[in-house]
């Protein structure tokens, strides 16, 4: 077994973005009157992540501009409009943060961000991300395999599923009461899905920590499933023996199943899933089975994906 030395990186070590951006701006400005101190500190400032290894998990497609990835979001706790999370998620406090991992495990743990960062080396992975609403993006995520965290807590033999929960704090998320979905947001995977090397816990994108609207400080990324499975701002992970409830399935079971694998041959009851609009492109393109990640097909052999949508 390959044992890698955890990165010597503490979350608290990363340089705040406004510091290095302002430094650059300051240098560029030369004798300009507007100095760094005059610039307001953005509430949801992201920070540069160091010691990130480029992973071989990358798609050879044009990466979606950061501007698009961070301004077009579904994060209903901060409003149901696509542009609302980027405007309103600055009330989220991603630090300090704790992720409670428990349930059917031998070593339940509560991680703070520094200890999360030590679970495994951070890698950059360029994944396709396909929303159930038939739009898609290509994102340079930074994170580590979910499997690494699960191995760290040692699931016991009864554990069959992994349940995830997003923070719900009405003070930080005042728009949550008009989300139209039950909060806190919950999601789940089968344990073998969660252990698949593609399943990622992400702490950043585009070389920096996650912007709040993208699910700071830590989120799931399951690239072969519709985007809503990739739960944001995780506070709790529970191993269980029963299939956990999931938010969109609770909201509308006929339209959103537990599996929600990207599948061009199984339409959403209200719209086609055969094609998608890649942000930045005018015309739609064909959607690929499992979003172009055929290596996960083995997880579902023998299953009727029409029934298990």
Partner 1 sequence: MKKILFSPWTKRGLFAVCLIPALLLVWRGFMGNLSANPIEFIEHKTGDWALRFLLITLAVTPLRKIFEQPLLTRFRRMLGLFAFFYVCAHLLMYLIFDQMFSPSGIYADVLKRPYITVGTAGFLMLVPLAVTSTAAMVRRLGPKRWQLLHRLVYFCALAGVIHYYWLVKSDVREPLMYGGILTLLMLFRVRMWLQKGTKSKPQPAGVSV
CA atoms within 13 A on the CB side of 212: 23
Q: Please, what sign has the CA dihedral across residues 267, 161, 295, 58? A: positive
State yes or no: residue 123 binds partner 1 (CB under 8 A). no
Q: Least distance from C-beta 264 to partner 1, angstroms?
A: 13
φ/ψ of residue 28, rounded to 5? -70, -35
Give 70 or 291: the residue with its C-beta nearer to partner 1.
70
State yes or no: residue 57 binds partner 1 (CB under 8 A). no
State yes or no: residue 93 binds partner 1 (CB under 8 A). no
State yes or no: residue 80 binds partner 1 (CB under 8 A). yes
Q: Least distance from C-beta 173 to partner 1, angstroms?
A: 15
Binding mask 174-193 for partner 1 (x = CB under 8 A): ----xxxx------------
- Closest CA relative to residue 12, chosen from 94, 105, 130: 94
Binding mask 141-180 for partner 1 (x = CB under 8 A): -------------------------------------xxx
Choose the stretch contacting partner 1; rule: CB under 8 A; options: 38-46, 70-78, 92-100, 191-199.
70-78
Choose the stretch contacting partner 1; rule: CB under 8 A; options: 16-24, 196-204, 271-279, 286-294.
271-279
Contact 262, 121 (CB under 8 A): no
State yes or no: residue 271 binds partner 1 (CB under 8 A). yes
Residue 6 CB-density burial (10 A; 0-12 exposed, 13-18 middle, 19+ buried): middle
Q: Which of 242, 283, 298, 306 binds partner 1 (CB under 8 A)?
A: 283
Token representation of residue 276: 């998608």
Whole-number Å distance between alpha carbons of 89 and 216: 10
Strands of the 98-103 sheet, one edge to the other: 109-112, 98-103, 234-240, 161-166, 186-190
Choose the stretch contacting partner 1; rule: CB under 8 A; options: 25-33, 185-193, 203-211, 264-272.
264-272
Contact 100, 237 (CB under 8 A): yes
State yes or no: residue 279 binds partner 1 (CB under 8 A). yes
Site for partner 1 in 191-230 (CB under 8 A): none
Q: Least distance from C-beta 279 to partner 1, angstroms?
A: 5
Whole-number Å distance between alpha carbons of 297 and 33: 59
Q: Least distance from C-beta 48 to partner 1, angstroms?
A: 23
Whole-number Å distance between alpha carbons of 62 and 180: 34
Q: Which of 277, 288, 292, 305 binds partner 1 (CB under 8 A)?
A: 277
Whole-number Å distance between alpha carbons of 189 and 239: 10
């Amino acid at each position: 077994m390959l044992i890698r030395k955890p990165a010597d990186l503490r979350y608290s070590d990363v340089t705040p973005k406004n510091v290095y951006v302002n430094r650059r701006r300051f240098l560029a400005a030369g004798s300009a009157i507007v100095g760094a101190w005059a610039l307001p500190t953005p509430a949801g400032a992201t920070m540069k992540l160091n010691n990130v290894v480029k992973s071989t998990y990358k798609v050879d497609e044009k990466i979606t501009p950061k501007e698009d990835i961070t301004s077009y979001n579904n994060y209903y706790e901060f409003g149901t409009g696509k542009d609302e999370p980027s405007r309103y998620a600055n009330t989220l406090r991603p630090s300090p943060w704790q992720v409670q991992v428990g349930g059917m495990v031998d070593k339940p743990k509560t991680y703070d961000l520094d200890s999360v960062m030590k679970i495994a080396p951070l890698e950059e992975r360029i994944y396709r991300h396909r929303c159930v609403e038939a739009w898609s993006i290509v994102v340079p995520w930074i994170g580590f395999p979910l499997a690494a965290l699960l191995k760290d807590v040692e699931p016991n033999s009864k554990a069959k599923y992994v349940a995830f929960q997003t923070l719900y704090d009405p003070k930080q998320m005042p728009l949550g009461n008009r989300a139209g979905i039950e909060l806190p947001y919950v999601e789940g995977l089968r344990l073998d899905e969660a252990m698949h090397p593609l399943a990622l816990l992400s702490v950043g994108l585009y070389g920096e920590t996650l912007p709040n609207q993208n699910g700071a400080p830590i989120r799931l990324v399951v690239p072969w499933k519709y985007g809503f499975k990739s739960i944001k701002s995780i506070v709790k992970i529970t191993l269980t023996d029963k299939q956990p409830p999931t938010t969109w399935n609770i909201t509308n079971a006929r339209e959103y199943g537990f599996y929600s694998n990207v599948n061009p041959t199984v339409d959403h009851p209200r719209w086609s899933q055969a094609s998608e609009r890649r942000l930045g492109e005018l015309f739609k393109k064909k959607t690929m089975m499992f979003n172009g990640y055929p290596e996960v097909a083995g997880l579902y052999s023998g299953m009727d994906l029409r029934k298990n949508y």
